[in-house]
């Protein structure tokens, strides 16, 4: 299946810094989802976006659904050590209603140095 282009692949930052990552696609999506995965665990939903242009926050996290419907970004402000993990974007293409098959990015590995 199609993969989303997620960047960067990895980030090494100092505690307190802000982080930005994004996902792009050549085709449009109706839904963008952002997940975080801790080592050895399953992905946990952070933010869900359902409308083009939508900007949604969850604590220190902010995500936006691109106006073209082909991209999304996730920002983390004032990073802390527990932000370490892999962040995934996922998109639901138009027409995927019965099976609800998501398309996933390959993930951004975030390392936060105390």
Partner 1 sequence: DVKVTQSSRYLVKRTGEKVFLECVQDMDHENMFWYRQDPGLGLRLIYFSYDVKMKEKGDIPEGYSVSREKKERFSLILESASTNQTSMYLCAIKGFTSGSWGETQYFGPGTRLLVL
# residues contacting partner 1 (CB under 8 A): 25
Residue 82 or residue 98: which is nearer to partner 1 going by CB? Answer: 98
Sheet holding 19-24: strands in order across? 5-7, 19-24, 71-76, 61-65, 55-58
Cα 82–chain centre separation? 17
Per-residue interface string for the shown chain with partner 1, residues 6-35, x marking contact by CB under 8 A: -------------------------x-x-x
Dist. CA 98–CA 41, nearest whole Å = 28
Q: Which positions touch partner 1 (CB under 8 A)?
A: 1, 3, 31, 33, 35, 40-45, 48, 50, 88, 90, 92, 98-102, 104-107
């Amino acid at each position: 299946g199609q993969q989303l282009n997620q960047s960067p692949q990895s980030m090494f930052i100092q505690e307190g810094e802000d982080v930005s990552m994004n996902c792009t696609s050549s085709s449009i999506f109706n839904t963008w989802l952002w997940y975080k995965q801790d080592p050895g665990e399953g992905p946990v939903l952070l933010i869900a976006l359902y409308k083009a242009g939508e900007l949604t926050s969850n604590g220190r996290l902010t995500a936006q659904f691109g106006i073209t419907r082909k991209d999304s970004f996730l920002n983390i402000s004032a990073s802390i050590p527990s932000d370490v993990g892999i962040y995934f974007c996922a998109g639901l293409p138009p027409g995927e209603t019965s099976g609800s098959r998501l398309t996933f990015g390959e993930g951004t590995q975030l390392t936060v140095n105390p």
